[in-house]
A and B are shown apart, each in its own frame.
Chain A
Amino acid sequence: MGKVISLKGNWPKVLTNATLYGAESVIFDLVDTVIPQDKDIARILLKEAFSVLDYSTIKTIVRINSIEAGEGIKDLTCFTSNAPDSFIIPIQDKESLTIALDAVQKLETFLGIEIGGINLYADVKTAKAYEYVKESLQDSGFNGIYIDTDKVIEDLKVTDGNEKFSDFLTYTLEISCKAKGLILINAKEVACY
Chain B
Amino acid sequence: MLLKNVLGREIPDHISGYKEVKPYTGAYENIQGEYVRTTSKFKVKPIKKSEKHAESKLVASIEEAIDKVGLKDGMTVSFHHHMRNGDYVTNMVMKVIEAKGYKNIHVAASGLFKCHEPLVEMIKSGVITNITLSTISPGPLAKAITQGLLKHPAVFMSHGGRPRAIESGELHIDVAFIAAPTCDPYGNMNGSQGKSACGLLSYAYADAHYADNVIAITDHLVSFPACPVEISQECVDYVVQVEEIGNPEGIAFGPTKATTDPINLSIARTTAKLIDEAGFIKEGMSMQTGAGATSIAVADEVGKIMRAKNVVGSFGSGGITGYFVKMLEEGLFRGLFDVQCFDQVAIESISKNKNHMPMSATHYANPNNRGCLVNQLDVMILGATEVDIDFNVNVVTGSDGIIMSSSGGNNDCAAGAKISIIVTNLLKGRLCMLRDKVTTITTPGETVDVIVTDRGIAINPRRKDLTELLKESSLPIMDIHKLKAIGDKLVGIPQPLELTDQVVAIVEYRDGTVIDVVRKPK
Contact = CB atoms under 8 A, between A and B. Distances in A.
Interface of A: 5, 12-13, 16-17, 20-22, 53, 191, 193
Contacts of A20: 262-263, 266, 454-455
A26 to B, nearest CB: 12
Contacts of A22: 262, 266
A12 B430 CA distance: 9
B454 A17 contact: yes
B271 to A, nearest CB: 15
Candidate in A16, A20, A53, A193 with the most chain B CB atoms within 10 angstroms: A20
Main secondary structure of the interface of A (DSSP, over half): mixed
Nearest to A23: B262
Interface of B is mostly: mixed
Contact of A16 (B261, B262, B266, B490): B490
A17 B430 contact: no
Given A17-B454, A20-B454, A20-B455, A53 B490 contact: yes
Nearest to B453: A20
Contacts of A13: 427, 429
The 6 closest A-B pairs by CB, nearest first: A20-B263, A21-B262, A20-B454, A22-B262, A17-B263, A16-B490
A61 B455 CA distance: 22
A12 B266 CA distance: 20
Contacts of B262: 5, 20-22, 191, 193
A162 to B, nearest CB: 26
B490 A21 contact: no
A53 B455 CA distance: 14
Nearest to A5: B262
- The size bracket of the interface on B is 10 to 19
A45 to B, nearest CB: 12
A5 B262 CA distance: 11
A193 B454 CA distance: 16
A21 B263 contact: yes
A22 to B, nearest CB: 6
Contacts of B491: 16
B427 A16 contact: yes
A8 B331 CA distance: 42
Contacts of A193: 261-262
Contacts of B263: 17, 20-21
Given A12-B430, A17-B427, A21-B263, 15 more contacts: A13-B427, A13-B429, A16-B490, A16-B491, A17-B454, A20-B262, A20-B266, A20-B454, A20-B455, A21-B262, A22-B262, A22-B266, A53-B490, A191-B262, A193-B261
Interface in B402-447: 427, 429-430
Interface string B43-64: 0000000000000000000000
> Which of B262, B427, B430, B491 has the most chain A CB within a 10 Å cutoff?
B262
15 contacts: A5-B262, A13-B427, A13-B429, A16-B490, A17-B263, A17-B427, A20-B454, A21-B262, A21-B263, A22-B262, A22-B266, A53-B490, A191-B262, A193-B261, A193-B262
A5 B263 CA distance: 12
A16 B261 CA distance: 15
A21 B261 CA distance: 9
Interface in B456-501: 490-491
Interface string B251-263: 0000000000111
Contacts of B430: 12
Nearest to A53: B490
Nearest to A17: B263
A16 B429 CA distance: 10
A99 to B, nearest CB: 36
A20 B270 CA distance: 13
Nearest to A12: B430
A17 B263 CA distance: 8
B353 to A, nearest CB: 37
